[in-house]
Structure 1
Amino acid sequence: MTSLAETTESSRQDVAAPRATSKPSPAKRRANKDNGIRVRPSVLSTSILIIGAIYCLFPVFWVLMASTKDGSELFSTFTLAPSTHLWDNIVELTQYRNGLYWRWMLNTALYAGVGALASTYISAMSGYVLAKFSFPGKGFVFKVLLMGVLVPGVILAIPQYFLMAEIGLTNTYWAVLLPQIISPYGIYLARIYTAGSVPTEVIEAARTEGAKELRIFHGIALPMMMPGLVTIFLFQFVAVWNNFMLPYIMLGSDTLFPITVGLNGLLNQGATVPALYTLVITGALLSIIPLIALFLVLQRYWKVDLAAGAVK
């Protein structure tokens, strides 16, 4: 039996012995990061990101500076020096042919808004079918879809024009809307997102309860796919907003032009009327404001998606 003195001495040694330090686990490091402990960023990666941001934003900054100048200052002053004629240029652009620019803006919003919504819905339904249904030729259909992703849209503009001419839809709104409803890339993204975000067990449970397929798609699958569909909508909206070749070929009346085709016409006229260059630059500046606003409004859906994925 150990004595009281030996027990006391052993306890003192245990207290005096230094505690072994262990390396924090990855989970603990992540917790420390979430609690506000700063992690030293990589200088190289940060520099690359900054250079990339400058490269992408410099044209926007140039357009902003150039739109503040009048026709005489545009070619005679320093490129990045601002002036005070922005509002005058906007007023002059608004008065050009009784507000034709804002007609182009409304046309572009119609093409991009309606076209992107219709394309997103069709992409969602097609991707859902490819991800959750089994049918003969499914693999072949998906391979054809991947080939469609690789084909540039410019190549299809001429065949699409002949098809629209056969049914008498050239020089109409439908000539721009219909060809852009089907998006192979959107269908591909919807298929990938559906496979990862919509559990098959939930669909089977709904079928067991007697729900119809359209009811399952609209009531169960579609809400689960919403963050991915926001991305598809944004990609398609930007693609239609910036599209030039298709409306340039399809449309002949300037009252149906989108912004891209309308500003191109103004730019061509600027060769003989240099004062129109300021209108083109000001119109280009105004045309990117809706895109910036759309990004700012829809980015919260991506944040919600990332937060939801972090707790799964």
Structure 2
Amino acid sequence: MHITSGTTNEPAPPATLAPRKRLRPRESQRSTLLTVLLWLCALYFILPLFWLIVASTKSNTDLFSTFGLWFGKSFELWNNLVSVFTVRDGLFLQWVINTVLYASVSAVIASILATAAGYAFAKYQFPGDKLLFSIILGAIMIPLTALALPTYLLFNTAGLTNTPWSVILPSLVSPFGVYLMRVYAADAISDSLIEAARVDGAGEFRIFWQVGFRLLGPGVVTVFLFALVATWNNYFLPLIMLNSSSLYPLTVGLAQQQAASAAGGGAQALFSTVITGSLVSIVPLIIAFLVLQRYWQAGLTTGGVKE
């Protein structure tokens, strides 16, 4: 008897394309909710800047008699700018120069020191390195206002109060910058690259400056911007360190000008002037971000190349 098996030699039917997966209603709602939250966050950050721009175009009368988020009856931006740079014999320009000096010197040196320290913690092993790095991490959690009074007493003993050094020297230390560069250097610089440079006869300082520092470019720019913004917006430290108005940065100078306007008693009303000065004070920061963002883009492109 011939027994046939249950299998057949007929070709299997062609596989059909699976239908495209549709987005579930819950996922769609989640995406909509995230979009709304992102728009709300964007408005939260943009709205004060928009108010500052609008208020800078108003006179003192329109500033208090018109809607805050729209322009006034007259466009007074040019007159406000003239007032900013001419009131008190052009002292605002001296405040700008002081702020640029304090912020630029502090940011450059702080970024170099943080980069060197982060590179050392990431690529070298020495006695007490973990303990020292833990101390630096603990320093991040200490608020700067808690260190203001001890810093003042120290600088007063050294005779450095009411000098530019009293603002620059405390700003040279960036514990967060050291932590950031330590994490960045651990992945951005290969140990084999350092060993190859040593085989070629390069010293440790030359390896750091000509090899490591260039590879850490995006991280250096990040630390530089953090230090620049922190020193530029610093108010409490210059307030307790400086006594002469000719040494004030923009933060302290504009605050003193605002206090004089709000005091009354025959003082000149400079509310529009102070607001316009605040607008002018953020323009250099915006320019710095726009100029330095290309270094971030270059760093992201370099990191996307597979070895």
Give the TM-score, by structure 2 length: 0.88
User: Take 1:192 and 1:60, find their aligned partners in 2: how far apart are those partners?
Assistant: 33
User: Take 2:277 and 2:98, find their aligned partners in 1: how far apart are those partners?
Assistant: 14
2:61 pairs, out of 72, 81, 87, with 72
Q: Which deviations, in whole Å up to 9, do the C-alpha atoms of 1:70-110 show, x marking residues without a partner? A: 11111111112213001100001111122111110111111
Q: Does 1:48 align with 2:23?
A: no
Structure 2 match to 1:222: 213
Q: Point out where structure 1 has 5 or more consecutive residues left out of the alignment.
A: 1-9, 25-40
- Equivalent pairs counted in the alignment come to 286
Identity %: 45
Q: Do the aligned partners of 1:127 and 1:191 also contact (CA within 8 Å) in 2?
A: yes
Q: Does 1:60 align with 2:54?
A: no
Q: Do the aligned partners of 1:71 and 1:274 also contact (CA within 8 Å) in 2?
A: no
Q: Do the aligned partners of 1:111 and 1:177 also contact (CA within 8 Å) in 2?
A: yes
Structure 2 match to 1:32: none
Q: Do the aligned partners of 1:67 and 1:278 also contact (CA within 8 Å) in 2?
A: yes
Q: Do the aligned partners of 1:112 and 1:240 also contact (CA within 8 Å) in 2?
A: yes
Q: Does 1:18 align with 2:14?
A: yes
Q: Mapping of 1:45-194 within 5 angstroms?
A: 45-83=34-72, 84-194=75-185
User: Take 1:81 and 1:275, find their aligned partners in 2: how far apart are those partners?
Assistant: 21
User: Take 1:212 and 1:293, find their aligned partners in 2: how far apart are those partners?
Assistant: 37
User: Take 1:202 and 1:174, find their aligned partners in 2: how far apart are those partners?
Assistant: 39
Structure 2 match to 1:304: 298
Q: Mapping of 1:23-34 within 5 angstroms?
A: none
Structure 2 match to 1:292: 286
User: Take 1:81 and 1:132, find their aligned partners in 2: how far apart are those partners?
Assistant: 55
- Structure 1 residue 245 displacement after superposition: 0.5
Partner amino acid for 1:239?
Answer: A
User: Take 1:22 and 1:125, find their aligned partners in 2: how far apart are those partners?
Assistant: 56
- Structure 1 residue 283 displacement after superposition: 0.6
Structure 2 match to 1:248: 239
**Superposed structure 1 runs of 4+ greater than 6 Å apart:** none
Q: Mapping of 1:206-221 within 5 angstroms?
A: 206-221=197-212
Q: Point out where structure 2 has 5 or more consecutive residues left out of the alignment.
A: 1-9, 21-29
Give the TM-score, by structure 1 length: 0.87
- Residues 23 and 166 of structure 1, relative CA distance in 2, 3 Å threshold: farther
- SS in structure 1 of the partner of residue 117 of structure 2: helix
User: Take 2:55 and 2:103, find their aligned partners in 1: how far apart are those partners?
Assistant: 27
- SS in structure 1 of the partner of residue 282 of structure 2: helix
- Structure 1 residue 308 displacement after superposition: 2.1
